[in-house]
Amino acid sequence: MTDSTTASGTFDVTLDVNGIAYPVHIEQDRNLLSVIRGEVGLTGTKEGCDDCECGACMVLLDGRPVNSCSYLAVQAQGRAITTIEGVMTGDDLHPLQQALLDEGGVQCGFCTPGMIMSAMALLADNPSPSEEQVRIGLSGNLCRCTGYTRIVAAVQRAAAVPHA
Amino acid sequence: MTATTTAITTSPPRFVRADGPDKVTGSGRYTADLSLTGVLAAKFRYANIGHARIVRLDVTAARAMPGVFAVLTADDVPDVRFGPFVQDRTLFARDVVRFEGEIVAAVAAVNAVVAQRAVDAIVVEYEPLPVINDIEAALSVESALVHPDWQSYGAADALVRDRNDASFASITKGDVGAGMAAADHIIESRYVADGCHAVPIEPRAVVAQWEGNKVTIWTTTQVPFDARAGVCETLQLPTNRVRIIVPHLGGGFGGKCGFHYEAHIAALARVAKRPVRLVFTRREEFIAPDRRRESIVFNIETGVLDDGTITARRAWLAMDNGAYTADAAFFSQLAAMHTAGPYRIPNVQVEAHLVYTNHQPSGSVRAPTAPQACWALESHTDEVAAAVGIDPVEFRRRNAVDTGAVGPSGQTYGEIGLQQCIDLAAGGAGYGQPLPDDEAIGVAIGWWPSFSVPSGAYIKIDGDGAGQIITGAQECGTGSVMTLRDLAADELGMKPEDFELVYQDTAVAPYDMGATGSQTLLNNGRAVIAAAGQVAEQLKKLAADHLEAAEADIVLADGHAYVAGTPATTVSLVELAGIAAGGQLLIGHGSSTPAEAPPLAGSSCVGDLGMAAFVAPQFSCHAVRVKLDRDTGVARVLHVSAAHDSGIIINPIGAHGQVEGAVMMGIGQALSEGTTYDDQARQRNAALLEYKLQTCADAPPILVQFVEIFTPDAGPRGAKGLAEAPNIATAAAISNALAKLIGRPVRQLPMTAERVWNTIQGDAS
């Protein structure tokens, strides 16, 4: 096993997270999720499987959704990283956040940050998605509590699309 | 009592939960988000073998590694056997390992990488023992024993145990032999349900920190007081030196009930003299906890007359207990009830065994035993209906229990809404209308008790009029704790937003059983109302003095106290709170008094753990439309119509969410979720890539309707439990739809495409 803590295996990189530059000194094999949570100190992004299966760790890289558990942190240098903590505008909730509250789309809340990041990417691509497009757009995010019904409704509400 | 049927289909009233803003902004803290100065990382050494004797265990090299602060084995903790019903478990394996996820040793080190290296440096040598991998074989007298010393273990008096049978239960009513003899038809069926998992999206995590002789443990438990009891029992500490705090909990579904790893991490932290944190991987979530849904083998036999009247039911079932009993001892009687079913049957004989194997231990997962038993019984019921040529829905209308009817264990039901559920669910599905030949609607009914248990809460209102509800109740996502604010606000004429919740902390709140048994609102709701009632009396007394009126005439509403009939004579509650702050403080406490178990008549129960008498029973009917690709065996659920009698619904949006989520879990259990084992009793699909949950793209439209009825012994305002009941009937209804499409039932759960295809090809297995 390579000792990843040796000087040769570590890098000084600067990560742009929610518009703030964070200089971090990290091992080359660190995934982005662990750096966001452990070094940058933002814990809203969750780890559910470390296997790209659950989507709880979803962040945006230059606006595209990425499972941060399976993305090398060093590769994120120079790209705009958005986490759940960067979604609000000042003290105002993003329409997706407000819609999830209003529609009852939040139960345990563990999948919620990742779900919001996927939904943001979806709406950026397609501001008026159909219910089917929402369901496909969120299919990389597992939720065990809600049965998805109210999450889909919330995304459509946030997109100001009449309910199907 | 008024009985009203309310069909709530769309747009339930808005209810923004108090913990919602934390959860949508990422600011809410879950256990794995916590960090403490100097915190160490914990890792476990697991058995990784199904059954073996430990012939050598050497931790010398691990302890000597730089950065390792503690390495513990059974020799380093008190020699205590624990378990709620059978004391068959120890914190660390002693001499023998009995399942792959059994903990042999625990390490605390400076980080997770070093901790894992230390775990790998522990030397363990095993002598293999016979692997007990099959439930029915384990019951034979020739089988090796999982616990050769079973007779020496402490156990609850009511348990009937014998060798690998950890808990036998039977329910007997009438004369089943005579009932079968009187039948025109006798239908026999065999069904086998595989085990499956709760799979909360948040993996378990525990953080422990000692200060002097007291320990604080932050943990992902659904049952903080039960977790505290486990720590106290195994580490031999008094309850007032162990504080359990649950940050936000990322789902549970029963999987996080019981006592898990809090004592291991506390023991590590005590030896290391540093705080210690454990965070599970997804693989550990699958293999280690003693809470997964049990595999069950069912043999069911029903006698029926030509006119569709059931004369007798006989059933035998064997459940996989796994290697240790956890809380599963009551499953035998509960599964027996669910295999008898919510039917009027004069003659019943059901026998259930809970069988030790070398599998991961079983434990309460959302309505334990009920989805599997409902799937088997309701699939069998469609076979019975077909034998007498009666439509399955009509057959259930004739034989299901109703208000005033006597159930299979001899309980006479008060006001209940099962018949209305059948009508609503079938109607909502469009049952009976023509469908394409690759689609069918299956129907199933289910039931579940409400658990009436002790529970406590305090309420205080401070000098500025701001309220706090300090409750022992635990929130696992259902929103039931969030709903407590509404109950308190109603009692006090205040707004829900006037209250903050202080919860999930055993050091500050009175006892509650936790987020288990769908019991929070039922029991803690009563406690909160009682506590609020005390504060209301205190406010009325103050108001009476202030307004120079009689206390009995004071009304609390809209944030004010006023004199009945003269609303202009008023004082704000904020002003009264300020007065109270200078004198008698506004403090209330409430404790819920459990309802007595309803009487049973004409039945006898062996292995009786109180599960044959259902307090305030809940009922449901699900009608599910399924589309089948006969070339591939792939089934797709197109629509679910779910009707529930869970009493009066207090929080409609939360109630809808419970049903929708449980239905999706039921679809997963029906079609994709099942654990498979290798020949060494190790799980073959302990990962989300191989163990498939349903996704957003798989989810069908779900119509939810409630039959709102006041059942005797229900909770506040007529509410019964709800979190588990909607998880029961979905898989059964899907089975019945598939059986219509195939011409015979799929006899193994989950009904994967491969099993469906094999059934289409005529393989009856």
Domain boundary among A25, A55, A86: A86
Contact A104 B665 (CB under 8 A): no
Query: What residues of B are in contact with residue A104 (Cβ under 8 Å)?
Result: 12, 15, 17, 653-654, 656-657
Cβ–Cβ < 8 Å for B477, A108: yes
pLDDT of B2 strictly over 70: no
Q: How far apart are CA A69 and CA A77, in angstroms?
A: 16
Instruction: Report how far residue B58's alpha carbon sits from residue B53's, in angstroms, rounded to the nearest whole number.
Output: 14
Residues of A in contact with B698 (CB under 8 A): 139
Q: Does A103 share its domain with A72?
A: no
Q: How confident is the model at residue A8 (pLDDT cuts 50, 70, 90)?
A: low
B46 pLDDT tier (thresholds 50, 70, 90): very high
Could B687 and A51 be called an inter-chain contact, meaning their C-beta atoms sit closer than 8 Å?
yes
Residue A141 pLDDT > 80: yes
Would you say the C-alpha torsion A20, A21, A25, A27 has a positive or negative sign? positive
**pLDDT-derived band at B10, boundaries 50, 70, 90:** very low
Residue A36 lies in a domain: yes
Interstrand relation of B348-356 and B310-322 (parallel, antiparallel or unpaired): parallel
Does residue A60 belong to any structural domain of this protein? yes
Average of per-residue pLDDT across B159-188: 98
DSSP state letter for B248: B
Same domain, A14 and A81: yes
CATH number at residue A111: 1.10.150.120
**Has residue B212 got a pLDDT over 80?**
yes
Candidates B9, B15, B22, B23, partner chain A, best to mutate (most A CBs within 10 A): B23
* Helix/strand/coil for B447: strand
**Helix (H, G, I), strand (E, B), or coil: what is residue B82?**
strand
Are both A133 and A67 inside the same structural domain? no
pLDDT in tens, B660-676: 999 999 999 999 999 99
Query: Chain A contact for B65, CB < 8 A?
Result: no
Task: Give the three-class secondary structure for A44.
Answer: coil
What is the count of structural domains for chain A?
A: 2
Are A153 and A100 found together in one domain? yes
Q: What is the pLDDT of residues B479-529, one digit of tens each?
A: 999 999 999 999 999 999 999 999 999 999 999 999 999 999 999 999 999
% helix, strand, coil for chain A, step of 5: 40, 20, 45
Beta-carbon count within 10 A of B416 CB: 30
CB contact under 8 A, B657 and A147: yes
Strand B242-245 to B276-279 pairing? unpaired
Residues of chain A found within 8 Å of residue B654, distances taken between Cβ atoms: 104
Alpha-carbon separation of residue B747 from B31, B738, B759, B764 (angstroms):
41, 11, 8, 8
- In this prediction, residue A1 carries a pLDDT of 33
* Residue of chain B with shortest Cα separation from A107: B477
The per-residue pLDDT for A39 is: 96
Max Cα-Cα span within chain B: 85
- Give the number of other Cβ atoms within 10 Å of residue A160's Cβ: 10
Q: Which residue has the tokens 């200060």?
A: B211
Provide the strand spans (E) within B61-220.
68-72, 96-97, 103-109, 123-128, 165-173, 185-193, 205-211, 214-219
Judged by CB atoms closer than 8 Å, whether chains meet at A108 and B32 is answered as: no
User: Does A164 reside within a domain?
Assistant: no
Q: Is B330:B516 a contact under the CB 8 Å cutoff?
A: no
Neighbour tally for A35: CB within 10 Å: 25
Residue type, B745: P
**What is the DSSP secondary structure assignment for residue B705, as one 8-state letter?**
E
Question: What distances in angstroms separate CA B229 from CA A139, B106, B236, B260, one per listed residue?
Answer: 40, 21, 10, 11
A163 within domain boundaries: no
Domain carrying residue A35: 9-86
Q: Give B 733-752 residues with CB within 8 A of chain A.
A: none
**Quick one: A14 and A77 in the same domain?**
yes
Of A86, A105, A132, the residue that ends a domain is A86
- For residue A87, which residues of chain B lie inside 8 Å, CB to CB? 25-26
Answer whether B321's CB lies under 8 Å from B362's CB. yes
Residues A76 and A108 in one domain: no
Nearest residue, CB atoms, A116 vs list B24, B693, B699? B24
Is B638 in CB contact (< 8 Å) with chain A?
A: no
Contact across the interface for B688 and A104, Cβ inside 8 Å: no
Dist. CA A55–CA A49, nearest whole Å: 8
Tokens representing B405 are: 């009817």
- Name the one residue in this structure whose structure tokens are 């079932």: B317
Q: Number of C-alpha atoms within 13 angstroms, CB side, residue B410?
A: 15
Residues A74 and A111 in one domain: no
- Whether A73 is in a domain gets the answer yes
Average pLDDT over residues A16-24: 98
Residue A63 lies in a domain: yes
Do the domain assignments include residue A126?
Answer: yes
Chain A residue numbers with beta carbons less than 8 Å from the beta carbon of B702 are 147, 149
Q: What is the mean pLDDT of chain B?
A: 96
> Helix, strand or coil for residue B574?
helix
pLDDT of residue B356: 98
**Same domain membership, residue A128 and residue A77:** no
A61/A125 same-domain check: no
Could you give the angle at the alpha carbon of B289 between the alpha carbons of B285 and B293, nearest 5°? 95
Q: Where are the alpha helices (DSSP H) in B254-350?
A: 262-272, 282-287, 331-340
CATH of the domain at A39: 3.10.20.30
Q: Same domain, yes or no, for A79 and A118? A: no
- Direct distance between the N- and C-terminal alpha carbons of chain B, in angstroms, rounded to an integer: 50
Residues A15 and A82 in one domain: yes
For residue A63, give both structure tokens.
């606006």
pLDDT category at A3 given cuts 50, 70, 90 is very low
Nearest residue of chain B to residue A41 (CA atoms): B33
Please answer yes or no on whether B477 and A48 come within 8 Å at the CB atom: no
Q: Measured between beta carbons, which residues in chain A are less than 8 angstroms from residue B22?
A: 109
Instruction: For residue A72, give every residue at least 6 positions away whose Cβ sits within 8 Å of its Cβ, in sequence order, or none.
Output: A28, A29, A30, A31, A32
pTM of this prediction exceeds 0.90: yes
> Quick one: pLDDT at residue A164?
34
Nearest to A150 by CA among B699, B250, B424, B723: B699
Residue of B612, B99, B551 lying closest to B335 (CA atoms): B612
**CA distance between the termini of chain A:** 54
Residue A114 belongs to some domain of the structure: yes
> Do A80 and A111 sit in the same domain of this protein?
no
**Number of C-alpha atoms within 13 angstroms, CB side, residue A55?**
22
Q: What is the ipTM of this complex?
A: 0.96
The residues, ordered by sequence, that sit 6+ positions from A163 with a Cβ below 8 Å of its Cβ are A153, A156, A157
Question: Do B700 and B640 contact (CB within 8 A), yes or no?
Answer: yes
Give contacts of A92 with chain B, Cβ < 8 Å.
none
Joined together, the tokens standing for residue B253 give 């579904």
Last residue of a domain, one of A86, A118, A146: A86
Distance (Å, whole) CA B529 – CA B123: 57
How many other C-beta atoms lie within 10 A of the C-beta of residue B486?
A: 17
Conformational region of residue A142, where left means phi above 0, alpha means psi within -120 to 50, and beta covers everything else:
beta
Put residue B603 in one of left, alpha, beta given phi > 0 → left and psi -120 to 50 → alpha: beta
Q: Quick: pLDDT tens for A91-133.
A: 999 999 999 999 999 999 999 999 999 999 999 999 999 999 9
pLDDT digits (tens, 9 = 90+) for B421-460: 999 999 999 999 999 999 999 999 999 999 999 999 999 9
Average pLDDT over residues A34-52: 96
CB contact under 8 A, A46 and B201: yes
In the predicted structure, residue B7 carries a pLDDT above the cut 90 = no
Cβ of B695 within 8 Å of Cβ of A139? The answer is yes
Residue A62: strand, helix, or coil: coil
All domains in chain B, ordered by first residue: 36-129+204-279 (3.90.1170.50), 296-451+599-760 (3.30.365.10), 455-592 (3.30.365.10)
CA distance B46 to B567: 69
Q: What is the pLDDT of residue A4?
A: 40
